[in-house]
Every structure is written in C-alpha cells, then in structure tokens.
Amino acid sequence: MMLDEPMSRHTSLKVGGPADIFAIPEDQDDLQGLLEWLAGQGIFWMAIGRGYNLLVRDKGIRGAVISLERFNRIERVGELLIRAEGGAENLAVVRFAQALGLGGIDFISGIPGTVGGAMRMNAGAYGSGILERIESLNLLRNGIVSEVPLKMLDYGYRRLSLAPGDIVLGALFRLEERDPAATEAEIQKDLELRRSKHNVGHPSAGSFFKNPAGQSSWRLIDAANLRGTRVGGAMVSEVHSNFLVNCGGATAQNFFDLSALVKEAVFSSSGVMLKEEVRIVGEE
C-alpha cells in the first residue's frame, strides 16, 4: 500500500494528481479484506486496471485506488469456454485461446488494456463488441462475489451499466474452434492496422471521444481542421485526430481544455456534440 501516489505513474496519458492510497491486492481474499478495512475506515475507493482510457484530474483522488493488475490469470473451463480475470491483458487472452485452437475475439488484439476495462466499455472494433462473446461476468458487488449471466446485464455500444462499487473480477468467454494460423493472421492484421493508424508517438488514452451514431469522431475533428491543435502539452494527434496525446509536460487540465475546444469546434462545424470515451475521475 502506497500513500500520496502520483496517478501519472499509473495512467497511459501520464497525467493525474496523487491518490491518497494506492493498493495492489494479490488475490480475491486480499481484495475483500482490503475493501472491508476501507469500509470500516469510511474511505472512498475506486478500482482500475492498467490505467488505459483513464483521465485523472490534477488534484488527484481523495481515498483509495485499487489496482487489479495482479488479477491476470486465464484458464480453460470447458470445451469452448475460457475464464480470464479482470487484470489480464486483452492480447494475452487472445493468445491463450489461440493456443487451444479457439478464437472469435481476435478484434481485441490491438486494443490496449485489460479484460476488466474491455468489459466496462464493451471494447470492440469493426462492428463487434467484446460482450457479444461473454457468457457471464464474475462481479464483486457489496462484498459478495457472484456470477452474472450476460442476459442480466444492461449493455450497448461502448458501454456496460453496472451498479456503483461493482468490480469486474473476471469474464467467462464462449469461443469457437479456430485454426491457430487463421487466428495469427487476424492478430497480425489487427496489430499492423493499429500500428499504422494508432501509433501516435506520444502517450494517449486511445480514442478520446465516442463515435456518434453513424459517424466517426476523427472525421468530424478533421473537418474542423483541428489536427495538431495544442493546449499546453496536450495535442490533437497529427496521426489520428481522435487521439489526444501528451507531447510532454501536459496536465490533466490541458486535456480538459483541449477537449472543450475540440467539442466546441466540432459542434460549430457539424452540429454534433462529441462525448468523451475516456473515464474521467478525481477531485475537481
């Protein structure tokens, strides 16, 4: 457990003030014990994975941040079923399935982050969402671990609605038989596409804005002539305009100001109001 830990060390954007407490539980029992202690002390807490898709305000987080990075186990539990813990990297899950001759989730190969984050934002690409491949989620809710079937979850495009305080401990994937060579071809295709389009050369949180229905945020941002626009150390990437990047020395406020500028310019040019895809947390 660390005190006054800068969140800039734990987010892909490399910005964010300190968390009062930063804890990395070893396993489920350790996590439940930590939560009981925090509840007894009346301390607010929030859980994160590897800090992708996360923008922490400059004043930091009052309370505790719980990192699930050690919840990274993956196992086969049935002929077409694998279970991955919330801290497992997306590509690691695809590779695990590939070694078993299973596939169907190749599209998350190039999406940075972990299973827990992928579930919460229903991560996807090319018209697919990862929750379409889920049988159930293993949730920690009010101190109790439960297996929640997909049919009982409220989800949609780039979203999953959970109760406040829910922690995604893992997911049960139902896959299909797939030649490992075919999976490898899809993995390499996805990774190469993301290298060519998303290798922005600076720290980022991936796509900063959600795509409006039937439209692409990057096209709307391009139409507003915003590539390369900077506020302090934050910039609209010149490689992919839906990536806001840290060119060095950026603050969270730089990103908030740049986001506001982008939304205003896009609304003025197209009449569309963009919405952030990144998860924004911390003290205002």
Question: Is pLDDT above 80 for 195?
Answer: no
Query: How do residues 101-154 score in pLDDT, each as one tens digit?
Result: 999 998 888 888 899 989 988 887 766 789 999 999 999 988 889 999 999 999
Residues 14 and 39 in one domain: yes
**Using an 8 Å Cβ cutoff, are 240 and 219 in contact?**
no
pLDDT range class, residue 158, cuts 50, 70, 90: confident
Instruction: Look up the pTM and report it.
Output: 0.86
Structural domain range at position 151? 74-195
Among the options 70, 76, 158, 279, which is catalytic?
158
Residues counted in the chain? 284
- Give the model's pLDDT for residue 129: 87
Give the end of a domain, one of 67, 85, 117: 67
Q: Is 264 a catalytic residue?
A: no
What CATH number is given to the structural domain containing 13? 3.30.43.10
Q: Any idea of the CA torsion for 21, 253, 255, 273, to the nearest 10 degrees?
A: 110
Rounded percentage of the chain residues whose pLDDT exceeds 90: 80
Is residue 190 very low, low, confident or very high in pLDDT (cuts 50, 70, 90)? confident
- For residue 240, what is the domain's CATH number? 3.90.78.10
pLDDT mean across residues, the chain: 93
Is the distance from CB of 269 to CB of 224 less than 8 angstroms?
Answer: yes
Q: What is the pLDDT of residues 60-112, one digit of tens each?
A: 999 999 999 999 999 999 999 999 999 999 999 999 999 999 999 988 888 88
What is the token pair recorded at 250? 């950026």
CA distances from 68 to 23, 26, 281 (A): 9, 8, 17
207 tagged catalytic: yes
According to the model, what pLDDT value does residue 126 have? 65
pLDDT at 25: 96
Of the candidates 85, 186, 276, 277, the residue annotated as catalytic is 277
Give the range among 7-11, 193-197, 232-236, 259-263 with minimum mean pLDDT.
193-197
Identify the three-state secondary structure at position 162: coil
217-221 average pLDDT score: 97
* Last residue in a domain, options 67, 99, 122: 67
- Split into its structural domains, the chain has a count of 3
Q: Is 83 a catalytic residue?
A: no
Q: Which of 8, 12, 207, 217 is catalytic?
A: 207
Last residue of a domain, one of 67, 100, 122: 67
Whether 16 and 45 map to the same domain: the answer is yes
Q: How do 144-149 and 134-141 pair as beta strands?
A: antiparallel
Give backbone dihedrals phi and psi of 20, rounded to 5 degrees, phi first. Answer: -55, -45
